[in-house]
Amino acid sequence: MKSEKQILTMVILAILVVVSSCGQECQKTHVEDLPYEAATFEVEGEKAFMFGVIDHTTPGVVQALVDEHPEVTRIVMVDVPGSDDDPANLEASRMVREHGLTTVVPSNGVIASGGVDFFTAGASRVVEPCGKLGVHAWDEDGPDGGIILGNEVPRDHEIHAMFLDFYREMEIPEEFYWFTLEAAPPQRIHWMSDEEIGAYGLVTEAAP
């Protein structure tokens, strides 16, 4: 539900993030990731390192990954600032769960928005020290030319069903979805604390 302009904003936010809670050694910049590029994987042994924005090409890229690299067991999400195609993101995410892959946010890794949805698809999920997860409310163009804001749509509206159904499949509590809508407006990012990550069960495996 994000436009290309909004995705570029997410990338810029990822560039500017400073992990103050972890000290100076956890500061991270992502200048190398501009301009925004579609998500890709770099395979090293059992790990596939993920970079870029999730878009309509991502389901095919994930399918190629599992077909061509059966040795891969862990997707390491180094820099995944969001998605610009929600149905494609959820399709690719379901492939991750179907194949029992572990998702990892490494130390100094940054994921946000649709990248967090993809992360939750891991059969096991790891966030290493200083890894950052960012969430915010979605928005989309309305039929009258206005903007629909996710946190202003009644909770019983069918527009929420796509995400709620996905989280149920991933065994993520429904409360996490409502939390993302209230955590920050679409133009901003809320970087989750360790306590919030734990409260919503996003981590299932301790970092090594």
Name the most confidently modeled range: 30-39, 52-61, 137-146: 52-61
Q: Please tell me the predicted confidence (pLDDT) of residue 152.
A: 65
45, two tokens: 């042994």
Tell whether 204 is covered by a domain.
no
**In the predicted structure, residue 8 carries a pLDDT above the cut 90:** no
Diameter over CA atoms, the chain = 51
pTM for the whole thing? 0.84
Q: Please tell me the predicted confidence (pLDDT) of residue 158.
A: 84
Please say whether the dihedral angle defined by the alpha carbons of residues 73, 50, 191 and 178, taken in this order, is positive or negative. Answer: negative
Contact 166, 88 (CB under 8 A): no
Bridge partner list, 125? 103
Q: Give the domain extent around 150.
A: 4-198
- Cβ burial of 146 (10 Å; 0-12, 13-18, 19+) is exposed
137, two tokens: 């409310």
Q: Please tell me the predicted confidence (pLDDT) of residue 54.
A: 95
Bridge partner list, 127? 105
Q: What would the mean pLDDT of 57-80 be, rounded to a whole number?
A: 98
C-alpha closest to that of 121 among 59, 40, 175: 59
CA angle 11, 58, 52 (to 5 degrees): 25
Tell whether 206 is covered by a domain.
no
For the chain, the distance separating the N- and C-terminal CA atoms, rounded to the nearest angstrom, is 35
Tell whether 189 is covered by a domain.
yes
CA distance 2 to 88: 12
Tell whether 207 is covered by a domain.
no
- SS (HEC) of 54-119: ECCCHHHHHHHHHHHCCCCCEEEEEEECCECCHHHHHHHHHHHHHCCCEEEECCCCEEECHHHHHH
Query: What's the number of domains the chain is made of?
Result: 1
Render pLDDT for 71-117 as a digit per residue (tens, 0 to 9). Answer: 999 999 999 999 989 999 999 999 999 999 999 999 989 999 999 99
Tell whether 208 is covered by a domain.
no
CA distance 207 to 128: 5
CATH code (residue 15): 3.90.226
Percent above pLDDT 90 for the chain? 64
**In the predicted structure, residue 147 carries a pLDDT above the cut 70:** no
CA distance 55 to 188: 20
